[in-house]
Amino acid sequence: MFLKSLTITRVDGTIIRNILFHAGLNLIVDDTPIVSGEETGNNVGKTTVLKLVDFCLGANAKGIYTDQENKKHEFKLVKDFLVENRVLVSLILKDDLSQEKSKEVLVERNFLARKEKIQRIDGNNKTDTGFEEALTDLLFPGHYGNKPTFRQIIAHNIRYKDVSINNTIKNLDGFTRDDEYETLYLFLFGCNFEQGDTKQELRSQIDIEEKFKKRLESEQTKSAYETALALLDSEIEELERWKASLNLNPNFEADLDTLNRVKYQVNLTSSEISRLQLRKDLILEAQQEMQSGKSTIDVQQLQQIYQQATSLVNGIHKTFLELNDFHNRMVESKIRFIVQDLPKIDAELTAKREHLNRLLVEETELSKAITLSDSFEVLEQLIMKLNAKYHTKGEYENTLRQLSTVESKLTELNNELAEIDNELFSDGFALKIKEQVNKFNRHFSSVSHELYGEKYALKVDPKKVKGRRLYEFTSFNTNFSSGKKQGEISCFDIAYTLFADDENIPCMHFLLNDKKELMHDNQLLKIANLVNAKGIQFVASILKDKLPEELNKDAYIVVKLSQNDKLFRIEKN
């Protein structure tokens, strides 16, 4: 398919740009006055034309208003203009520009979101998935969902990003794997390999599993985990034996409280016994003193003295014996009064001593039960250690289970990949690839010889990457200058279009190229002659002052831009 037109329209129907393409060379140039010493042809929108074509073919809208080197830097003026004016970009693709009635496809997109988003093909609005599927069906009906993707297939047709401008073969983004390039170029060269998509899926799954395995082993390897787990099991066994050997008293806390109460009672009872004993001793001392106050003199001798005294003193009626008895009776009465509490005290002492003996026996038993058992504090510390060990053990076992699962999955995936590779790297398939590459090289060397007088070629080599086999496609041309590298890229793209036509492989017949001023005038002229002769649509942006005089003609130029008339004409709007 060819590009027929690219139209930029405002919501009110005003056409900002309507760029008509033709077969052969299509140039996007600046219209900078040669006499001007200040104005330049840069930053007028030449590359943006290529970006808009790419946008209509599924590229992200951010590429239109975002700095390629700094993705966070947006050109707010451009973005706001596109959104606020609800700008619509329309691209018409045509099967054959020379045939008026050949099939045409209208692709339309805007820069709005959600319900206001326009993403139409032939008037039918599409979801993101439906849009990509419809674009894929333009070239390869039924291929959507398989590898390579539509965007990968047409990547060499649209070269304005640095990676595609500087690389002939590896022109996709920097995250593209070697196996994805393998699948892409096997597809482009018509080496139909039905399991190519399956191989990419397997490689993707293997990469995921290997990354997961690497993350699991970020701290230590599987064997280290196994060793650590064995040591941990030994430590757990030792702690469990220690736990089993503990002499635990289930009533430890209660017994301890009881012992404290018993000790208190022992002290209290001992104090009471001491108090009672002291009281008893005082009573006995008083009794002894009173006993010593009783009369024990010789009564007969005193009686004789008493009689002599009474014979001399009149009025004494009491006899001495009566007086002596009265004295002794008074002493006895006092003693009886003092010692009357002794029986009660003795009884209390006996009871208190018996109670004390019982308390002492109980204290001894409780002390023995407590001192011979391990405390629960020791048990709690032991259990905390065990819990920590079991937690670590669980983590290790879980990691080992995951590692075993990953290794098992990797073995399964690698076995499936090996079966596919056995077919892919068979002698018969390798011969087919060689034949197709040789066919392409006939065009590649012919085009490069016509442009540079040199014969370029593509080679394919089986190689191993991380132990896995794949085909690597490379050009073996020593082009170190940027200008000549761009020439090689143009030779490759033109040669592939000619090769695809010969092999009846569907392809886009337009080639978009940026910064062609890096090429020498002679090569630009030769490219113009070649694409015009071969019917290939070659669209290139170039600074006017770098344009050869022979190409500075309206027949080749499809749009002229300048500082006063940039692509979106925001200045005028």
- Residue range 216-232: average pLDDT? 89
Averaged pLDDT, 341-349: 84
Model confidence band, residue 187 (pLDDT cutoffs 50, 70, 90): very high
Instruction: Determine the Cα–Cα distance for residues 163 and 387; give it in Å rounded to an integer.
Output: 56
According to DSSP, the residues that pair with 482 across neighbouring strands are none
Cβ distance 500 to 506 under 8 Å?
yes
Asked if the model's pLDDT at residue 307 lies above 70, the reply is no
Question: In this model, does residue 372 exceed pLDDT 70?
Answer: no
Q: What pLDDT, on the 0 to 100 scale, is given for residue 47?
A: 92
For the cut 70, the answer to whether the pLDDT of residue 362 exceeds it is: yes
For the segment 403-419, what is each residue's pLDDT rounded down to a tens digit? 999 999 999 988 888 88
% of the chain exceeding 70 in pLDDT: 84
Amino acid letter at 200? Q
| Residue (of 453, 538, 561, 452) closest to 159 by Cα position | 538
Token pair 């510390």 in the structure block, residue:
381
Report pLDDT for 480: 44
The single residue listed with the structure tokens 């036509």 is 501
Which of 42-56, 273-287, 354-368, 437-451 has the weakest average pLDDT? Answer: 273-287
Residue 326: count other Cβ atoms within 10 Å of its Cβ: 11
Report the alpha-carbon distance of residue 452 to residue 488 in Å, rounded: 9
For residue 105 the two structure tokens come to: 């496809």
Question: Crossing angle for the helix pair 427-452 and 521-534, nearest 10 degrees?
Answer: 120
pLDDT on residue 294: 61
Q: CA-to-CA distance for 445 and 451, rounded, in angstroms?
A: 10
Q: Identify the pLDDT of residue 19.
A: 96
* Top-confidence range, 100-109, 273-282, 374-383: 100-109
CA angle, 389 as apex, 387 and 392 as ends, to 5°?
A: 110
As a whole number, mean pLDDT of residues 446-472 equals 86
Mean pLDDT of the region 338-362: 85
Q: What are residue 538's DSSP bridge partners? A: 25, 511
Q: What is the pLDDT of residue 249?
A: 61
**Residue 270's pLDDT band (cuts 50, 70, 90):** confident
Q: Positive or negative, the Cα torsion across 259, 265, 267, 273?
A: negative
Q: What pLDDT score was predicted for residue 564?
A: 87
User: Residue 332: which pLDDT band, with cuts at 50, 70 and 90?
Assistant: confident
Structure tokens at 213: 């395995």
Q: Is 140 left (phi over 0), alpha (psi -120 to 50) or beta?
A: beta
Higher-pLDDT residue of 61 and 480 is 61
pTM of the model: 0.69
